């Protein structure tokens, strides 16, 4: 029985790319009824066993074990999340970046931070350039990979491209930051649809309609997912939040109280580190904001 990769799911059909390089045609498949009975849905990114049917289509018979599984976007086996945030148009939003990082940490993916539109910085924007350098240094110190890119000049695009090789990656970020533009700059043959930033709304119009794996020439696949303007914390338990801040984890073990919220308890090593400057005050402020947001949602649901 042949194996393949689901590269697109649409209207009850699964589009499977055969693993056999001699078979380069995508097979349109249905899923076996047993999946529905078991409450299982094949996902984009699933490696599957399928069988060809008489009408030239196929049937997904088995889903092979998953490495990861995301709820939103619904995709399996992604290991790398590329978070794209523009330096200008729209301006860099570190609170939203931290919110994305919380979700990525919770899902167990590796995050790569890509700061786009470097070409929009100029000599008159020394403050923004300084903020860019500070942000890059901050996240690198925490342990994240940070790339500063420009689709216009090509800066940083080769470095990002090499990181995508052989991986299933999810591209996410604020609307209008240039996800499709960056992909087109790295892989000119893609010709993905792009849209200009909406100056009236201050954000980009969504140009991506459904989750689909885009095959890259270096053996990687990327899921170009719809842009998000906000994320909620419904899938995340409030007690898990601090573990999604990398720099809190080791320090938390030294807190006086087990299950320390890092808000008001005495003997809190995280708050001590904030006071000492070992943890960035901005990151801690975002943690407190997210905690309050989650507490408020818990009351309402």
136-167 b/e with 16+ CB inside 10 Å = b? bebbeebebbbbbbbbeeeebbeebbebbeeb
Q: Is 175 annotated as a binding residue?
A: yes
Terminal C-alpha separation, the chain: 46
| 119 annotated as ligand-binding | yes
Q: Is residue 45 part of an annotated ligand binding site?
A: no
**CB burial of residue 16 (10 Å; 0-12, 13-18, 19+):** buried
* Integer Rg of the chain from CA: 21
Evaluate whether 139 touches 113 at the Cβ level (below 8 Å).
yes
CB burial readout 60-94, b (16+ within 10 A) else e: bbbbeeeebebebbbbbbbebbbbbbbbbbbebeb
Contact 249, 243 (CB under 8 A): yes
Helix (H, G, I), strand (E, B) or coil at 58: strand
Q: How far apart are CA 278 and CA 271, in angstroms?
A: 10
Does the annotation place 204 within a ligand binding site? Answer: no
**Residue 177 among known ligand-binding residues:** yes
How many Å apart are CA 180 and CA 208, to the nearest integer? 9
Tell whether residue 179 is among the known ligand binding residues.
yes
**Residue 133 annotated as part of some ligand binding site:** no
Distance CA 64, CA 5 (A): 10
Q: Is 176 known as a binding-site position?
A: yes
d(CA 34, CA 23): 27
- Give me the residue label for tokens 């069988």: 51
**114 appears as a binding residue in the annotation:** no
Binding residues for GTP: 116-119, 173-181
Binding residues for Zn(2+): 255, 260, 262, 268
Binding residues: 116-119, 173-181, 255, 260, 262, 268
């Amino acid at each position: 029985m042949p194996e393949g990769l689901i590269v697109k799911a649409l209207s009850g059909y699964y589009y499977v790319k055969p693993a056999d390089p001699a078979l380069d045609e995508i097979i349109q498949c249905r899923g076996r009824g047993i999946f529905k009975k078991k409450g299982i849905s094949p996902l984009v990114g699933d490696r599957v066993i399928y069988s060809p049917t008489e009408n030239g289509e196929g049937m997904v018979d088995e889903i092979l074990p998953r490495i990861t599984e995301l709820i939103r976007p619904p995709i399996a086996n992604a290991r790398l999340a590329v978070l794209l945030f523009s330096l200008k148009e729209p301006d860099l939003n570190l609170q939203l970046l931290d919110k994305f990082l919380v979700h990525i940490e919770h899902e167990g993916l590796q995050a790569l931070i890509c700061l786009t539109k470097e070409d929009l910085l100029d000599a008159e924007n020394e403050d923004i350039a300084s903020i860019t350098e500070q942000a890059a240094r901050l996240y690198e110190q925490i342990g994240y990979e940070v790339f500063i890119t420009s689709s216009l000049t090509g800066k940083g695009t080769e470095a990002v491209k090499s990181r995508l090789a052989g991986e299933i990656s999810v591209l996410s970020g604020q609307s209008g930051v240039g996800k499709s533009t960056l992909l087109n700059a790295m892989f000119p043959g893609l010709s993905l649809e792009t849209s200009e930033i909406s100056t009236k709304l201050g954000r980009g119009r969504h140009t991506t309609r459904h989750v689909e794996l885009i095959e890259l020439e270096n053996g990687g696949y990327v899921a170009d997912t719809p842009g998000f303007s906000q994320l909620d914390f419904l899938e995340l338990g409030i007690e898990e939040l601090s573990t999604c801040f990398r720099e809190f984890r080791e320090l938390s073990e030294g807190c006086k109280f087990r299950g320390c919220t890092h808000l008001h308890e005495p003997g809190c090593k995280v708050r001590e580190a904030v006071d000492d400057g070992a943890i960035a005050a901005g990151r801690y402020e975002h943690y407190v904001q997210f905690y309050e947001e989650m507490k408020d949602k818990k009351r309402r649901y």
